[in-house]
Chain A
Amino acid sequence: MERILFGDNQFFAVNHISDEKSRAQSIKFREDSAIIKTLDEVRSLGVNTFMCTTHDRIANICEVVRKHPEKYKDFQIYPCMPYAHKYANAVTELGIAGTIKQYVPGNLFGTMLKGGVAYLSKDFLSITELLIDAEMKMFKGVNTPVVFLQNVITDLLLGLRADDMLVGFYNHVKKKYNADAGFITMNMPKLLDVLERNGIENPIICSSINKVGFRMSGGKEIYEETLKTRKLRAIAMQVLGGGAIHPKEAIEYVCGLPNIESILFGASSKANIQNTIENIHHFDALNDRMVLS
């Protein structure tokens, strides 16, 4: 994975601290061309990985990427599925069974609903695989070397102790898409325990990691300890702590931690993007020099 990954929250009006900023972003990025413009700026600064949710509008971005193979030959997308609000709204309207019926392609689930027979574990795994395939459709012909499960699902399954569903996601992504499976979580140490217990070694885990301990469940100390002593390919997100930390200080902290393979961040303006990338390079170089000396 690249050292720096570019995220998509700003494109879809996700802002963890301000509804006003979120509205401003939604106005700025109302046209797909504005998203493409920002992605091109990011690429010009040397960052070629776009980590994004499977929002409907990403299908349009993929279309642009497919149409310009030469321009985007080094570009890659890390899909994060599912776009939870789509399903959450459907559950409100159709209920849980109705939602699965609507989104599972073919009539496997319809047959199961009618049958009135007991559901087997393999049935739930097949449904999951069909849902993954449905979400992956829009990325056909686009380079997607890592595919992520979104935190709301990872963490829901974690709490429900449905470990085999997490393993099912991992296996299907590996087998069918020849890609690495990654997990986004707000409970990184706990997830690592579960994945390791189920035989998944050195997993890719993306979680909040920041100086103020924001969304680092169980506390910053256990995260730092996990990074120091355990084996995982960690991606740090929410490194700015939702905006609570001064950018330079925030990046200095994350760059100073051991075992962080990549840093994920998003921003709307070219100046902010450039600033963050420069800060990461600056502190990485500083740390390299310290190691050498």
Chain B
Amino acid sequence: MVKVALIGAGKMGLSHLSILGAHPGVDVVGVCDTSKMLTDFLSKHGKFNCFTDYQKMADEVKPDAVVVAVPTKFHYPVIKSLLERKISVFAEKPFCLNSEQGQELVHMAAKQKVVNQVGYHNKFIGTFSEVKRIVNSGALGKIYHFVGEAYGPVVIKPQSDTWRSDPTEGGGCLLDYASHVIDLINDVLAPVNAVKGSLLKSIYSKNVEDAVYSLLELSNGVSGVLSVNWSDETYRKMSTSITIAGTKGKIISDANELKVFLKDGASLKGYTKGWNLSYITDLTAPVDFYLRGEEYSAQMDYFIKAVDGKVPNSINTFQSAWYTDNAIELIKKSSK
């Protein structure tokens, strides 16, 4: 059994806790949150051992691994103190609020030889893994353009202030929504290393952007467009998609549906000339416990297996999440 603790039982934290609670290989040894209502609920109904001080929890219950789901501005101090104790860490996204802090944690995790992962769950979605496989196969020919998009109805009216509306705490569409798309582009194609120009638009929010439109250039020379808007109520929930155009074919994919156009059918096994359609139902492996999507269970299962030494710690590492933090910084700079 892997001994796991949770810090931060908010929306994402509770979801992770439920998945951990149902995982046969996990012993949830502690939960930490500052809300008395939540810790009372979790200790009374779930019989969890609850704390309000995470350092005390770490020293008392000595977890092998900790899931960190506190607001982003607390990631750096919390993760640092866990790494000092040689505890493996799964952190929610985005990783850190600035690239220096992130870099320090990347080095520290390597030095302490602990498993490190960040919650960019798109990499555990079957359609997107297939996109990556097709790109790596070379079947699209020379890739010359991409469009990464995400739309959803998070802020659809002027609203009260929360940490999501405060840029110094990790709020805003760029950190919250666009980070997912940037991370996907980094992973499927290549890390963003230059930003040609960006528009950060506030639609309903006072202090943060609600939409991000940006021209990105990747380390392999490919360039493309980022278009993200969390104030779009024509979407029922977050919808992320990526379009990749090459000289021999094109891919349009979201989390449910993968459309592949190939000029030459022989270039990729299992695909034919022209349009090929496949669905998440064909591309997703079943999980043992389902809460909000296979990807949430799959990413946690992968983390637990990595802590247990059963899989390499190679998906969604601190390093890969740092590339996304870095791109976020570049986008911010280019918009000024």
Q: Which residues of A contact B (CB under 8 A)?
A: 12-20, 22-23, 26, 85, 88-89, 91-97, 112-113, 116, 118-121, 124, 152, 155-162, 164-165, 186-187, 190, 212-219, 241-244
Contacts and interface: CB of A to CB of B under 8 A. Distances in A.
Contacts of B291: 152, 155-156, 159, 186
A158 B87 CA distance: 27
B286 A244 contact: no
Contact of A119 (B18, B40, B154, B159): B40
Contacts of A92: 11, 154, 162, 164
Given A152-B291, A217-B286, A160 B236 contact: no
B257 interface: yes
Interface of B: 10-11, 14-15, 17-22, 35-38, 40-42, 44-47, 153-154, 159-160, 162, 164, 234, 236-237, 239, 241, 254, 256-257, 279-282, 286-292
A162 to B, nearest CB: 4
Contacts of B159: 93
Contact of A94 (B36, B42, B45, B160): B160
30 contacts: A16-B281, A17-B256, A18-B257, A19-B239, A85-B236, A91-B11, A96-B10, A96-B38, A113-B37, A116-B36, A121-B45, A124-B41, A152-B291, A157-B18, A159-B20, A159-B22, A160-B14, A160-B46, A161-B45, A165-B45, A187-B22, A187-B290, A190-B22, A212-B281, A213-B286, A215-B290, A218-B286, A242-B280, A243-B279, A244-B279
A157 B289 CA distance: 12
A19 B47 CA distance: 40
> Top 9 nearest A-B pairs by Cβ distance?
A159-B18, A186-B290, A162-B45, A244-B281, A119-B40, A159-B22, A159-B21, A217-B290, A160-B46
Given A124-B45, A217-B289, A97 B154 contact: no
A160 B37 CA distance: 15
B162 A159 contact: no
B316 to A, nearest CB: 21
Contacts of A95: 10, 162
A116 B42 CA distance: 17
Given A96-B37, A156-B15, A187-B290, 4 more contacts: A16-B256, A94-B160, A116-B36, A214-B286
B35 A97 contact: yes
A118 B40 contact: yes
Contacts of A215: 286, 290
A120 B241 CA distance: 45
Given A156-B14, A162-B46, A242-B279, A14 B290 contact: no
